[in-house]
């Protein structure tokens, strides 16, 4: 299959503006292809960015048959552009598709589409330190029908837009509230899939936590309300005694983050021990209080690493590392970014050049 390129004339193309904010400005082009039962995927194209026309009964609008992904293109010092583990994203996209009874895409073709799209819109990849071009692949069910059931037609699309450095004010810790009532995902449910409904369902708690004065919510497992799962829309890590990094083992309701996986592989090469385990929130809070836990941080594509300076549970605040960013979070942040931006060796073969 080939991708039909319907590009804007050079004179009508834009470029990354001086100032921009994540998720609100978009590059000139997008990728789309459509799926119909019987015919499979077809009409792959890169075309000018623009609105879709959808039937008001399109299944996605009523029953949320939708999946998405998130990854970034990084400007190297030599002017070239890197993607980070796009094959891992494509594989996760297909796992999400399976769970939501949507057709899989050809992973190699999907990555090729990302490369061609980013290459065409390379003027939109910012050059500032820590900035990137955010890439958002998604798939929606387009069949017009209100009867509940998997759709017969789908739209797969990719849009991109510039994202500034996640920490314009410095690498500062956030505060986290442990949700004792509301749950993000349940084992057997769809928490492992990057599907829109999970995020709509989390908004209520995010607002509540913000009203209490905290930045993020820490999610516990839905069955016992006892085991740590994630923080906001990130995975979470705890540093014990400055040397052991523990993160919740994938439980069926945790989104398997590519940043999480990358840190689990990278950290041992930097002299840290890593462990995936079931982490009881009561033990975690006790270990924070005793000082055995020296750092806590979230991890995900957007922030890479997000230090946590304060955790609150049942009305009580627990400070971590004096509320300051710790050395392990900083080291992992620096080392992973260096690989992504092509400033360091890439011993794992994670980086793919677009050019």
Ligand X SMILES: *Cc1c(COP(=O)(O)O)cnc(C)c1O
- Decide if residue 218 touches ligand X (CB under 6 A): no
Whose structure tokens read 């759709």? 151
Q: Is the CB of 118 or the CB of 258 nearer to ligand X?
A: 258
Residues from 260 through 289 that contact ligand X (CB under 6 A): 260
Site for ligand X in 102-141 (CB under 6 A): none
Q: 342: phi > 0 → left, psi -120 to 50 → alpha, else beta; which?
A: left
Instruction: Compute the distance between CA of residue 66 and CA of residue 195 in angstroms, rounded to an integer.
Output: 6
Which residues between 60 and 89 bind ligand X (CB under 6 A)? 70
Residue 300 is a binding residue for ligand X (CB under 6 A): yes
- The span of 33-41, 204-212, 228-236, 278-286 binding ligand X (CB under 6 A) equals 228-236
| Residues 101, 65 contacting (CB under 8 angstroms) | yes
Among 234, 237, 264, 311, indicate the residue that binds ligand X (CB under 6 A): 234
Window 236-265: contact mask with ligand X (x via CB under 6 A): -------------------x-xxxx-----
Nearer to ligand X, 86 or 300 (CB): 300
CB of 238 to ligand X, least distance (A): 16
When asked if residue 235 is in the footprint of ligand X (CB under 6 A), the reply is: yes
Q: How does 52-86 read in b/e, with b if 16+ C-beta sit within 10 Å?
A: eeeeeebbbbebbbbbbbbbbbbbbeeeebbbbbb
CA-wise closest residue to 148 among 63, 233, 210, 91:
63
Determine if 100 is a binding residue for ligand X (CB under 6 A): no
Q: Shortest Cβ distance from residue 87 to ligand X (Å)?
A: 13
Q: Does 94 bind ligand X (CB under 6 A)?
A: no
Q: Which is nearer to ligand X, 202 or 294 (CB)?
A: 202
Dihedral sign, Cα of residue 257, residue 183, residue 305, residue 244: negative
Based on the shown chain and the rule CB under 6 A, indicate whether residue 216 belongs to the binding site for ligand X: no
Contacting residue, 66, 121, 192, 230, with ligand X by CB under 6 A: 230
Torsion of CA 126, 132, 134, 135, to 10 degrees: 90
By CB under 6 A, tell whether 305 contacts ligand X.
no
| Interacting residue ranges for ligand X, rule: CB under 6 A | 70, 194, 230, 233-235, 255, 257-260, 300-301
């Amino acid at each position: 299959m080939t991708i039909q390129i319907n590009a804007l004339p050079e004179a009508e193309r834009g470029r990354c503006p001086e100032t921009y904010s994540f998720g609100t400005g978009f590059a000139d082009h997008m990728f789309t292809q459509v799926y119909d039962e019987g015919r499979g995927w077809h009409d792959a194209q890169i075309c000018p960015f623009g609105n879709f026309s959808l039937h008001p009964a399109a299944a996605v609008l009523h029953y949320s048959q939708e999946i998405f992904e998130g990854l970034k293109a990084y400007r190297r010092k030599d002017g070239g552009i890197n993607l980070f583990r796009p094959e891992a994203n494509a594989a996760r996209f297909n796992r999400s598709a399976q769970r939501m009874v949507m057709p899989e895409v050809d992973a190699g073709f999907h990555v090729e589409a990302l490369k061609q799209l980013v290459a065409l819109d390379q003027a939109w990849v910012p050059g500032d330190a820590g900035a990137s071009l955010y890439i958002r692949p998604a798939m929606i069910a387009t069949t017009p029908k209100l009867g509940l059931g998997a759709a017969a037609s789908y739209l797969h699309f990719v849009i991109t837009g510039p994202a500034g450095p996640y920490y314009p004010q410095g690498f500062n810790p956030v505060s986290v509230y442990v949700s004792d009532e509301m749950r993000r995902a349940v084992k057997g449910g769809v928490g492992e899939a990057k599907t829109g409904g999970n995020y709509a369902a989390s908004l209520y708690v995010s607002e509540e936590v913000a009203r209490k004065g905290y930045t993020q919510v820490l999610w516990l497992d839905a069955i016992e309300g006892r085991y740590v799962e994630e923080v906001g829309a990130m995975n979470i890590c705890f540093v014990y005694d400055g040397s052991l990094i523990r993160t919740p083992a994938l439980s069926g309701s945790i989104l398997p983050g590519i940043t999480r996986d990358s840190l689990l592989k990278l950290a041992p090469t930097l002299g840290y021990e890593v462990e995936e385990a079931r982490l009881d929130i009561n033990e975690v809070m006790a270990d924070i209080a005793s000082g055995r836990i020296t750092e806590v941080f979230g991890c995900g594509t957007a922030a890479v690493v997000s230090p946590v300076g304060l955790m609150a549970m049942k009305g009580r605040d627990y400070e971590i590392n004096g509320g300051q960013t710790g050395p392990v979070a900083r080291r992992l942040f620096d080392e992973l970014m260096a690989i992504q931006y092509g400033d360091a060796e890439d011993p794992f073969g994670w980086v793919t050049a677009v050019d």
